[in-house]
Amino acid sequence: MAVGHRRLTRSVAAALLLLAGMAAPAGPASAVEPSPTFALDLPDTTIPLGVAKKRVHLKLTNLTDETPTEILFYVRPKELDEARAHVIWPQGGGSGECDGDTAGFYCRIGSSSSPELLPAPGGTVDLPLDIHVRGDEPYEGRFHVEAGMAWGGEKVQITASDWVTLRLVDEPEADLSVVAPDVKQSARVDADGRLELSGALHPGGTGAVRYRVVNQGRKAVGGIKATLRLPEGAQFTRPPKECAVGTDQRSAVCTYDKLPLVPVGQDTDPDDGTYSAVEFHHLVTVPAATKAPVTLAGGTVQVEGLTGSADARSAAERAELPANVIAVRAADVDADDNQDGYAVVVAAPADGGDGGDNGDGDDGNGGGSGGGGGGGLPITGPAAGLIAGTGLALVAGGGIMLLLARRRRPVPAGHGDETPAV
């Protein structure tokens, strides 16, 4: 028998197995650690033949109660034919400090270089990636994405990965995509209707849900329908006339049937009154009674294209649709990127109330940074279930272990070295 090692009693072994079952999150088995600290999401993507480039977004969601100090992610083609497609970070940035080439690259995001890209507790970040394609025949391949986060002085570990399937299809239709960043700052609309952002969003304040819609396909749409859902604890403020708001003031369906979007490749004249991309904003208010700091998670926005019998370019000049024309859903080559999630990050009151002072000049990326103080932001929404479940498992586990300890034979005094290991 090996010195220094003891066999577990049947009771203890059974207890540990019970604890393992209680702590395991519900759902399918995953290759990542049992209690993930963040989630990675990049859905499969479809591109119509004839489109040379499509932008997709890697979404990372922080599942902890602290803001990370570093993010690292890798993109490797592996199963992509480089003669048909390759993935690279965009020239305009937005993905951190990147290095490599079409054969594979990595990007680093740090608190000293790109703090605005570090997601708050319970928050998300959308990192742009560009897919370049060539050829005129249908094709399918895969590329691999890995990511890791670190908090405080920790070293980044790769804790999430996924395969992304790329399909090139012969479908000359529209292809809408939407990206909605987290709501972090106070907002107001000036006399000219322009949105102004300033400082962190505090209880009782007003922020803005923003989302950008882009037509990356080959066919124009005559309008856009957007379905929005706010996180619990936020409400719409002065919604536009195009929106029908639910009685709970948290859901809205907005129909812009005279807002055409042409394909990116056709958007060559900035003065023709049509666009390939538009950005919407909706003011939202957080109640003054909200206990901050807190992240309100679970907001979503989903879009679909509308088309009528008239050409999309002439739709911008119509005051209203003719009586015999109705808006219908337009075909969309890739509906997987028509929805995006976001959170509302509420900072502690500026007067030093619950959670500490975040300051009016804060950019809203705050929350715990691993350096002590008042701790991180509480998380509400889907991420809270995982944390709560783990806590219940630990409490139950403590009770089981205490019961087992009481059932065991006491050790005589003076023989402490014989105490059974649990």
Q: What's the pLDDT tens digit per position in 266-311?
A: 888 777 777 899 899 999 999 999 999 999 999 999 999 998 644 5
pLDDT, average across residues 42-53: 96
Top pLDDT among 371 and 175 is at 175
pLDDT, residue 151, reads 95
Asked whether the beta carbons of 207 and 255 are under 8 A apart, the reply is: no
* Region of poorest pLDDT, from 29-38, 248-257, 281-290, 401-410: 401-410
CA atoms lying within 13 Å on the CB side of residue 96: 25
Asked whether the beta carbons of 219 and 266 are under 8 A apart, the reply is: no
What percent of the chain shows pLDDT beyond 90?
Answer: 56
pLDDT at 160 over 60: yes
pLDDT, residue 91, reads 85
Q: Angle 10-23/382-407 helices, nearest 10 degrees?
A: 170
Query: In 10 A of CB 194, how many CB atoms?
Result: 9
Top pLDDT among 44 and 409 is at 44
**pLDDT averaged over the chain?**
77
pLDDT, residue 108, reads 97
Q: pLDDT tens-digit profile of 56-94?
A: 999 999 999 999 999 999 999 999 999 999 999 998 889
Return d(Cα 18, Cα 30) in angstroms, integer. 19
Q: pLDDT tens-digit profile of 188-239?
A: 988 888 889 999 999 999 999 999 999 999 999 999 999 999 999 999 998 8
User: Residue holding tokens 């991180």?
Assistant: 376
pLDDT, residue 143, reads 98
pLDDT at 102 over 80: yes
pLDDT, residue 88, reads 96
φ and ψ of 114, to 5 deg: -140, 60
pLDDT at 388 over 90: no
pLDDT at 327 over 70: no
pLDDT, residue 334, reads 79
- 11 pLDDT band, cuts 50/70/90, is very low
Return d(Cα 41, Cα 339) in angstroms, integer. 12
- For the record, the structure tokens of 351 come out as 């007067």
* Region of poorest pLDDT, from 24-28, 215-219, 385-389: 24-28
SS (H, E, C) 207-251: EEEEEEEEECCCCCECEEEEEEECCCCCEECCCCCCEEECCCCCE
- 335 pLDDT band, cuts 50/70/90, is confident
Return d(Cα 221, Cα 264) in angstroms, integer. 12
In this prediction the pTM is 0.72
pLDDT, average across residues 21-42: 62
pLDDT, average across residues 140-161: 94
